[in-house]
């Protein structure tokens, strides 16, 4: 049985006390910290850039899983590779995905490729030997707090088979709408990493309590 990692997304955290929110994720047992960089072009929302990422690097030892939802990511990856464990870019955002993936690795980070809900696996099939992680978007990217699109978990299952049968070592990351009630289903479909935003950062329970609930749901589902 695979060990599934939890990567809280700060997209739904309280930005007025972001350093505290990040430390709470680390103290609560998060495996990674997911950072959504949005440019207002590839997606309609605008979040933050490399200056904030570099500032957060000073307040936590959590590995950074950086999600670039930006047009022309080849122009920006160099700002993030030093701070990140993994830099993820969208296949839909560039004409030369393998070139971008290569530049991420040359910068010292792991390379991830992302798929929007409407993008087929065929779009990345020729690049699977070049990636450390494949992110399947289970929502339409741009905003936190959306509901998971159940049909996307069938894509995760097909990707799991494709990776395993092809002998590829890339992780599968599921991003969008992950909750206590569907975490085990995501893992069963083949996910190795679960991005969790509003299921971790909310007013109902503490960050540590929410992470523990997700862990318990995964353990129960296994």
What is the rounded distance in angstroms from the CA atom of residue 207 to the CA atom of residue 200?
5
What is the rounded distance in angstroms from the CA atom of residue 46 to the CA atom of residue 40?
5
Which residue in the list 31, 36, 65, 132 is annotated as catalytic?
36
Which residue in the list 31, 132, 175, 192 is annotated as catalytic?
175
Q: Environment class of residue 14 by beta-carbon count within 10 Å: exposed (0-12), middle (13-18) or buried (19+)?
A: exposed
DSSP-derived secondary structure letter, 11: G
What is the rounded distance in angstroms from the CA atom of residue 219 to the CA atom of residue 214?
9
Residues 110, 80, 195, CA angle at the centre, nearest 5°? 65
5 and 32 Cβ atoms separated by less than 8 Å: yes
What is the rounded distance in angstroms from the CA atom of residue 140 to the CA atom of residue 175?
10
- To the query of whether residue 175 is one of the catalytic residues in this protein, the response is yes
Q: Catalytic residue positions?
A: 36, 175
């Amino acid at each position: 049985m695979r060990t599934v990692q939890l990567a809280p997304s700060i997209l739904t955290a309280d930005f007025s006390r972001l350093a505290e929110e990040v430390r709470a994720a680390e103290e609560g047992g998060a495996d990674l910290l997911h950072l959504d960089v949005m440019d207002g072009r590839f997606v309609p929302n605008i979040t933050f850039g490399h200056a904030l990422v570099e500032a957060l690097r000073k307040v936590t030892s959590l590995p950074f899983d950086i999600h670039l939802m930006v047009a022309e990511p080849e122009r920006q990856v160099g700002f993030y590779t030093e701070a990140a464990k993994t830099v993820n870019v969208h296949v839909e955002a560039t004409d030369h995905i393998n070139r971008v993936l290569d530049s991420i690795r040359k910068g010292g980070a792991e390379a991830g490729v992302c798929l929007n809900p409407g993008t087929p696996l065929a779009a990345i099939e020729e690049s699977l030997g070049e990636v450390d992680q494949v992110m399947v978007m289970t929502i339409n990217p741009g905003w936190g707090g959306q509901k998971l699109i159940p049909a996307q978990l069938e894509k995760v299952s097909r990707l799991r088979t494709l990776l395993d049968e092809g002998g590829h070592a890339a992780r599968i990351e599921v991003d969008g709408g992950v909750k206590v009630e569907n975490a085990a289903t995501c893992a069963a479909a083949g996910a190795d990493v679960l991005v969790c935003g509003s299921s971790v950062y909310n007013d109902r329970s503490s960050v540590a309590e929410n992470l523990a609930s997700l862990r318990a749901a995964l353990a129960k589902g296994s």
